[in-house]
Structure 1
Amino acid sequence: MQMQLVESASLALLNEGCIVKTLSGPFEIIARDSKRILFVKVLEDANSISEEQAAEFRKISSCLNVPVVIVANKAGSKLEDGVVYERFGITTMNLKTLRSCLRSDAPVIMRSKAGLTAEIDPVRLRQERLARGISLGRMAEYLGVSKRMVVEYEAGTSRITLSRAEALYSIFGDSVFRKEGIKSEAGTQYPEGRSVFARKYSSLGFSAFETKRMPFDLIAKRDRKRVILTKVGDRPSPVLTGISRLIGAFRLAIVGKDKPKDIPSLTRKEFMEFEDAKELLKFIEDFEEEHGE
């Protein structure tokens, strides 16, 4: 059943113009188009993800600025079409909703503890209100809320219930609602790693974050365009290459003795001898150029 869902999700992404890579790793699918990169975790039941695993996914999403989405048929009960859920902070939806989000052709409806809520575009809401000459007080009367609540809507700090969203729609149409239900964890701050390799990266001017149960052990960021996914150990997974290629990151293996021929590799001693980030990046770039990657 899961394999069928993976195939269906891959096809949906391909039909929307994405380059798609299926993996036997933490994510079943990586997709990329001109606007975004997306990690997709495919599950029959979204409730099967653990809190620890979700926390790791959120960390990866933030460090790489790549959204993670769970595509599932159910979360205990069947997932509703057109509704976006969350599982431990990870955006969750069924396949039909994924298609809608990729096309950005419908307002985002969220299922939360407060029930069904709509996602407002706070900037557009304020722009549209001012363009129509509607005061905060008058808007509050339309929606049946306080002026303070309208301010919160326009600040993006509060979701709106469906009944109030319908009132808002009657005034502005769908222009004031968010239509992209897939978000990354960008902006969330995570502590840097404390391993000897993470500290070495830090000394070279990188921000280095350690990962768990991933095809890479470290994410080293010089800036948004210079990211090194690093595997420590003698058997780097081929999944590392697939991920790095699709997200446009560098890859590096830090090994004991035997260096694999298909990935830039350094022994621990060689890695620790680097004194300049540019030299390390040049080593990786030269390898990729020499091997036609």
Structure 2
Amino acid sequence: MRRSSRDLLVEILRILHSAGFALYEVDSDYCLQIVAKKGDTKLLIKTTINVDNEKKETTEDLSSLATTFSASPLIIGSRAQRGKIEDGTLYERFNVHVVNLNTFREAVLHRRFPVAFSRRGGLYFKIDGATLKRLRMERGMSLGEFAAKIGVSRKAVYEYENSQMGATLKTVLRMEEVLNAGVTMDIDIFKWSYRKELPDKSPAGAVAKQLHYKLKKIGCKAIGFSYAPIDVHARTIGVSFLTDEENLDDDTLDRKVENATKIGKLLGVNPILITGSFGGGDLDIISIPIDDIRKAESIKDLERILNIDLTGHCTN
């Protein structure tokens, strides 16, 4: 029987709970559905049956959010346009790791990780470069001699030994036959390379755009989001903002605040609500009018404004 999206989500929550993760299920149509934390491991998870349905814009917000909070983004799905997501294999969607439910379960509950990853052209295996180099040298083979024995170029062997390139199954089998030892290594699906440069995107919403513009004008590095529980993150001072927009009804704003505050509690941050002239209502979150933010002429001014309202909790 084909698994539904809700079934997939429920099973992922069950697996994480069994492994002792603190969890929050996001109650809105954002770039993620689950936030999970255990020790130093922080996961931002999106679930989908067909991973090709995940658009570049939402996936970029997911990876930017992960970079912001030093978390690992993960998409868990069942199939893609080219076929089903195979067990024990790591895929990617716009530079975000993708696995199926079985691979996720094995990683979370048993610390058993994939050894293969999918790229255009087929499946590749991650090579333990240090082990490969040690085995080759112990057997007295030069780069060129070893390359000739396994049927690849000298440059390819150099890249294998420096963990810069994956190898096909055919090449792995040749290596292991020549060396009489294993040379592959697991791929930790929870280890993700944070993006050094984030997309310079303007957020959605009029108030959010004003906030984002003002932060950048005073020299504060800021990230804008369109599909995330927060609208703007000020990187320079480590503060996350959500905004009350004129078109939001009370119920929608309540859900937005609840999502941001509960995710913030799990990740150890204190989000701030920026309100427009229409007010932010009586909500359990620190609120600051956009007019106050407009008065800031420098980052120090901004910190002063936020410190007054945040009683010393302006940074995460």
Q: TM-score, normalising length from structure 1?
A: 0.83
Bigger CA drift: 28-37 or 267-276? 267-276
Deviation at 1:253, TM superposition (A): 0.8
The verdict on how the C-alpha distance between 1:78 and 1:285 changes in structure 2, with shifts beyond 3 A counting, is: same
CA–CA distance in structure 1, aligned partners of residues 199 and 280 of structure 2: 32
- Corresponding residue for residue 286 of structure 1: 311
Query: Of the two, which has the highest radius of gyration?
Result: 2
Match of 2:105 among 99, 107, 112: 99
Residue 2 in structure 1 maps to residue 9 in structure 2: no
The correspondence for 2:244, drawn from 233, 242, 256, is 233
Shift of 1:271: 2.3
What is the Cα deviation at residue 124 of structure 1?
5.6
Cα distance in 2 for partners of 1:284, 1:129 equals 62
Equivalent residue, structure 2, for 1:258: 280
> For each residue in 1:112-168, what CA deviation from the matched residue of structure 2 results, as whole angstroms up to 9, or x when unmatched?
212111123445655665677654234424532111111222333322112222344
Question: 1:48-86 deviations in whole A, cap 9, x for unaligned?
Answer: 222332233233333433222111122243321111122
Greater CA deviation, 81-90 or 275-284? 275-284
Tell me by how many angstroms 1:260 deviates.
3.8
Q: Does 1:86 align with 2:106?
A: no
Q: 270, 285, 292: which one pairs with 2:292?
A: 270
Number of the residue aligned with 1:111: 118
1:74–1:111 CA distance, 2 compared to 1 (3 A): same
Cα shift at 1:185: 4.9
Cα deviation, residue 245, structure 1: 1.8
2:224 corresponds to: 210
- For the residues of structure 1 that align with 2:281 and 2:311, how far apart are their CA atoms? 16
Does residue 172 of structure 2 align to residue 161 of structure 1?
Answer: no
Deviates more, 1:212-221 or 1:179-188: 179-188
Q: Shift of residue 188 of structure 1? A: 3.7
Map 1:10-29 to 2 at 5 A. 10-25=13-28, 26=30, 27-29=32-34
SS in 2 for 1:258: coil
1:6-25 CA-to-partner distances (Å, cap 9, x unmatched) read 11111112222321211123
Partner amino acid for 2:86? E
Tell me if the contact between 1:259 and 1:266 (Cα under 8 Å) persists in the aligned partners: no
In structure 1, the residue matched to 2:263 is: 243
Deviates more, 1:155-164 or 1:130-139: 130-139
Contact 2:64 2:195 in 1 (8 A): no
Equivalent residue in structure 1 for 2:233, among 202, 219, 224: 219
Aligned equivalent of 1:41: 46
* Number of residue pairs aligned between Structure 1 and Structure 2: 286
User: Are 1:75 and 2:100 matched, yes or no?
Assistant: no
Greater strand share, structure number: 1
For 1:261, the aligned partner's letter is L
- Unpaired runs of 5+ in structure 2? 203-208, 246-252
CA-CA distance at 1:214 after TM superposition: 2.0
TM-score (norm 2): 0.77
- Match of 1:181, SS state, is coil
Q: Which runs of 5+ in 1 are unaligned?
A: none
Q: In structure 2, what residue type is equivalent to 1:286?
A: T
Measured on the aligned residues, the alpha-carbon RMSD in Å equals 3.0
Q: For residue 180 of structure 1, what is the aligned residue in structure 2?
A: 188
Partner SS for 1:91: strand
The one-letter code of the counterpart of 2:16 is: L
Distance in 1, matches of 2:163 and 2:282, equals 49
**Distance (whole Å) between structure 1 residues aligned to residue 87 and residue 18 of structure 2:** 19
The answer to whether structure 1 residue 59 and structure 2 residue 64 are counterparts is yes
Instruction: Tell me: CA distance 1:15–1:261, structure 2 relative to 1, closer, same or farther (3 Å).
Output: same
Q: Structure 1 residue 92: deviation in Å? A: 1.3
SS at match of 1:152: helix
- Cα gap change, 1:84/1:278 in structure 2, threshold over 3 Å: closer, same or farther? same
Aligned to 1:189: 197
Determine which of 150, 163, 167 is the counterpart of 2:157: 150
The sequence identity of aligned pairs, in percent, is: 22
Q: Between 202-211 and 246-255, report the one with greater CA deviation.
A: 202-211
SS at match of 2:161: helix
SS for the counterpart of 1:148 is: helix
